[in-house]
Amino acid sequence: MVVTHSRKRIEIIVDAPLLRRVRMLADEAGITGHTLQRALGGGGEDGRWRDDRVTGGVGSKIIFSAISDEDNADKFLAILEPLLEEYGLIVTLSTVEVMRAERF
């Protein structure tokens, strides 16, 4: 039988120019790994948007995804909280099961 361990997955939709700051805050919270993905478009309360490379990509959005133990996830969310309204970050937190707990 496979043994799994609970961890927290944090996903943030962030404008590309703010990505460096988000990565630094993750490091500060003890989160050692993450994955980045380009967001092609989406929609929400403020309407639809799409990635527009023609204008230089300044408004391009990136999905920052990390898996962490609960303590470091809580630290990271506390550090991010002041940025939520100012930068319109979309942050989700979910519980996931991982097989190699020592990596997270």
Instruction: Give domain status of residue 24, yes or no.
Output: yes
Each residue of 26-82: pLDDT tens digit? 999 999 899 999 887 777 676 666 665 555 545 588 999 999 999 999 999 999 999
Instruction: Give domain status of residue 103, yes or no.
Output: no
pLDDT, residue 52, reads 57
| pTM, full prediction | 0.83
String of DSSP letters for the chain: ----EEEEEEEEEEEGGGHHHHHHHHHHTT----EEEEE-EEEETTEEEE--GGGTSTT-EEEEEEEE-HHHHHHHHHHHTTHHHHHT-EEEEEEEEES-GGG-
pLDDT, residue 101, reads 84
Question: What is the CATH number for 89?
Answer: 3.30.70.120
pLDDT, residue 12, reads 97
Share the mean pLDDT of the chain: 88
Instruction: Give domain status of residue 76, yes or no.
Output: yes
How many domains, the chain? 1
Instruction: Give domain status of residue 104, yes or no.
Output: no
User: Cα(93)–Cα(22) distance, rounded to whole angstroms?
Assistant: 15
Each residue of 7-29: pLDDT tens digit? 999 999 998 999 999 999 999 99
Domain that holds residue 76: 5-98
